[in-house]
Amino acid sequence: MMRRVRTSPKQSRWLPFEEPLQELDEQIHALEEFTAERGIDRSAQVAALRERQRTLTQRIFSSLSPWDQVLLARHPSRPYTLDYLRLIFDDWVELHGDRRFGDDPALVAGFARLNGKPVAVVGHQKGRDTRERVFRNFGSARPEGYRKALRVMHLAAKFGRPIIALVDTPAAESRLEAEERGIAESIATNMAEMSALPTPIVVAIIGEGGSGGAIGIAVGDWIAMQEHSIYSVIPPEGCAAILDTFGRDASRGPDAAAALKVNAESVLALGVVDEVVPEPLGGAHRDPPAAATALKEALARSLGKLKRLSTKTLLERRYEKFRRIGQFIEPPSVGADS
Amino acid sequence: MWDRRPRLSSLGPGMPGPTQPWAAVPHGRNGFWSPREAHSRLAQDNPLRGRSRTAEMGATPTNSRAAVDEIPDGLWGKCTKCGAMLYQRELERDLRVCKHCGFHFRLGARDRIAITADPDTFVEHDAALAPANPLAFPQYEEKLARDQGKTGLLDAFIWGECALAGVPVAMGASDSGFLMASMGSVLGEKVARAMEFAAASRVPLILFSASGGARMQEGIISLMQMAKTAAAVHRLGEARVPYLSVLTDPTTAGVWASYASLGDVIAAEPGARVLFAGPRVIEQSLKIKLAGGAHTSEFQLEHGMVDLIVPRREMRATLERLLGYLWSPPAVSGAEPP
């Protein structure tokens, strides 16, 4: 009997809803190994299976639930900020430290070239293996991370460089030491300052847009979301754990994810972001270079448009962009109000 | 009896600021409240007192700080902190501060304005702004209706124009009895309007914050209120109009990480819980248990996040003194400062 095929790292991480795909994948690998070992050609069968896998993927990915989107956004193989810095940008120079307390590896900042033109880049960074995950604090930035990002963004504004922010964080760090150093103040200050930085800012949510941790670097002129990213006011599990609507039961995260409308299409429909950037079939992690190409096009195109605006118009539009978000009922004035 | 008057909600929604029938009492020595003044404002002939705390708190049995109010129609209650028996009427006279241990009970938004603004000067703005259900979130409308009935407010925040020791100001207050004063579209919009009004009319802004954080039921739209209010604070700052932020129990999460921590001066009531992430969220997401009671006004003062802690009885006078240092009202009404 043949040993179970060992899958490559890229294929080792299948999400629950991808189970049929995983089975097909194992069959394909078995056939390929058979071909290699026995010299008997099974390429026709492999091609047929691959085609079946492709159509099945299309079918599965055309009807993803919000919770499936959450799992995709958190996929451990998903490209992170530093991956996109390699794939999209050239000549990345990372700048460290907030000049106040320390350097936060969970939020990277620096300068790079996009199509040859200098831009500042700030972005959350998660880790790929356990050691790096701990080093990057699972992408949960601390106050010094937000302050470093703001410092670099001020540099960009000072020297007339546009800013690109890549958002991918489960949430801001919230443990005691973060509170002691003012995590709330750092996020609030970033939002206030970013609302008026006199240079174009393009934001892309590339994975998890996790509440305050995300918005702390996500105030800008053009907000894009990758197709399988999420943007949420609270992790769905956290919402389920808190609200009696979900029985205060964290395991009802999937219900909360649906109610919170966290997936990119819903967030676009709510008018909170400007664009959804398509990802390769199966998600960005199946083909990072293709995902990067689409993201690069979106970043360059939106920056190009923004550069044509005067600073005054740019800042007026940025203020209005956030100012108008909100849905409420306001009866026509009956003279009760002054 | 003062606790048997008609409820505010019986006045109907969208009513403009109530006219206060009690006489304008000159403020006591140094602007501090004498017990008699306090009583006349909070309890005696104030129709606002008709809003029965018993009924309000009875509906939120989870609110541990409401112990005093849990005895129906009770004249006596127990202090949550020190356990001393408190005569209700005396507690109201003491601005709902325990005379034995100084514990500050929560105060509704209208009561807060009533004990802070000069008598008969408060004119409410945007009183008719009502919440919608942009995500069609389950059970949201029921909860809104419940707390609208409970508090007589349409949402968790009121603001308007008034005078503070004769100085025209804009003033707003959150009501933790309304969905824990979470920030949704209405709260965000009202805060932004208050800030824009203060900037345009050149009157200082005083906001009393209390909030459980973002309003989860409005999902990503509530997260955007953080950016919206932070941007509005920035504009108010550019107009060089002072903004005093007062933190009351509890000021947390999305509000603490936006406009509340962006005040020119940040004052806090003693013992108020002030923190970024609620214990339940942290325990859920990080799987760690927190030491209780760490995140208070005093903790934030110690770590440099608030300017001063001010007991309730001294708040009015302290705000007046602070404004005296930061603000010179235009000499002639309507005249622009140079």
User: Any idea what the CATH number is for the domain that residue A128 is in?
Assistant: 3.90.226.10
Neighboring chain B residues of A274 at a CB cutoff of 8 Å? none
Same domain assignment for residues A86 and A58: no
Q: With contact defined as beta carbons under 8 Å apart, do A127 and A105 qualify?
A: no
Residue B10's pLDDT is 31
Shortest distance between the Cα of A115 and any Cα of chain B, in A, equals: 30
Q: Which two tokens stand for residue B317?
A: 């006078």
The answer to whether residue A179 sits within a structural domain is: yes
Is A338–B281 a contact, with Cβ atoms under 8 angstroms apart? no
Instruction: Give the best residue of A211, A217, A243, A261 to mutate against chain B (max B CB count within 10 A).
Output: A211
A238 touching B (Cβ < 8 Å) = yes
Predicted pLDDT of residue B64? 39
Task: Identify whether B250 is preceded by a cis peptide bond (ω within 30 of 0).
Answer: yes
Query: How many Cβ atoms are within 10 Å of A285's Cβ, its own excluded?
Result: 19
Same domain, A238 and A158: yes
Burial of B34 (0-12, 13-18, 19+ CB in 10 A): middle
Are the Cβ atoms of B221 and A327 closer than 8 angstroms? Answer: yes
Let me know: does A24 contact A11? Beta carbons within 8 Å: no
Q: What is the tens place of the pLDDT at every residue in B217-261?
A: 999 999 999 999 999 999 999 999 999 999 999 999 999 999 999
Q: Is residue A8 part of a domain?
A: no
The answer to whether the CB atoms of B234 and A331 lie below 8 A apart is no
Residues A169 and A311 in one domain: yes
Across-strand partners of B171? B160, B206
CA gap A48, A27 in Å, rounded: 11
Contact B211, B222 (CB under 8 A): no
The mean-pLDDT minimum among B39-53, B172-186, B279-293 falls in B39-53
Examine the domain organization and report whether A278 and A177 are in the same domain: yes
Does A179 sit within 8 Å of B275, measured CB to CB? yes
Q: Is the pLDDT of residue B335 over 90?
A: no
CATH architecture under which domain B106-326 falls: Alpha-Beta Complex (3.90)
pTM to 2 decimal places: 0.86
Residues of A in contact with B286 (CB under 8 A): 174-175
| Cα gap A66→A264, rounded to integer Å | 9
Cα–Cα nearest to A130, from A170, A166, A169, A76? A76
Question: What's the number of domains chain A is made of?
Answer: 2
| ipTM for the predicted complex | 0.93
- Domain assignment present for residue A329? The answer is no
How many alpha carbons lie under 13 Å from residue A49 in its C-beta half-sphere?
18
Pairwise pLDDT comparison (B88 vs A153), residue with the higher score: A153
SS3 at position A146: helix
Residue A115 belongs to some domain of the structure: yes
Contacts of A170 in chain B (CB under 8 A): 285
Residue A90 and residue A139 in one domain: yes
Q: From the CA of B100, how many Å to the nearest CA of chain A?
A: 30
- Inter-chain CB proximity B216 and A187 less than 8 Å: no
Strands A117-124 and A107-114: what pairing? Answer: antiparallel
- The alpha carbon of residue B256 is apart from the nearest alpha carbon of chain A, in Å, by 6
Best mutation site among B19, B148, B179, B220 for testing chain A: the one with the most A CBs within 10 Å?
B220
pLDDT at B12 over 90: no
The C-alpha R_g of chain B, in whole angstroms, comes to 19
Domain annotation covers residue A121: yes
Domain boundaries, chain B: 106-326
Pair A245, A53: CB distance under 8 Å = no
Q: Do residue A48 and residue A96 come from a single domain?
A: no
Cβ contact, residue pair A180, B131, below 8 Å: no
- Indicate whether A253 and A283 sit together in one domain: yes
Q: Are residues A229 and A120 in the same domain?
A: yes
The most confident of the ranges A81-85, B23-27, B333-337 is: A81-85
Range of the domain at A248: 70-323
Contacts of A182 in chain B (CB under 8 A): 261, 303-305
Q: What is the pLDDT along chain A (338 residues), one digit of tens a residue?
A: 444 444 444 445 799 999 999 999 999 988 888 888 887 788 888 899 999 999 999 999 999 999 999 999 999 999 999 999 999 999 999 999 999 999 999 999 999 999 999 999 999 999 999 999 999 999 999 999 999 999 999 999 999 999 999 999 999 999 989 999 999 999 999 999 999 999 999 999 999 999 999 999 999 999 999 999 999 999 999 999 999 999 999 999 999 999 999 999 999 999 999 999 999 999 999 999 999 999 999 999 999 999 999 999 999 999 999 999 999 999 887 654 44
Asked if residue A91 and residue A19 are part of one domain, the reply reads no
Provide the pLDDT for residue B25.
34
Same domain, A176 and A241: yes
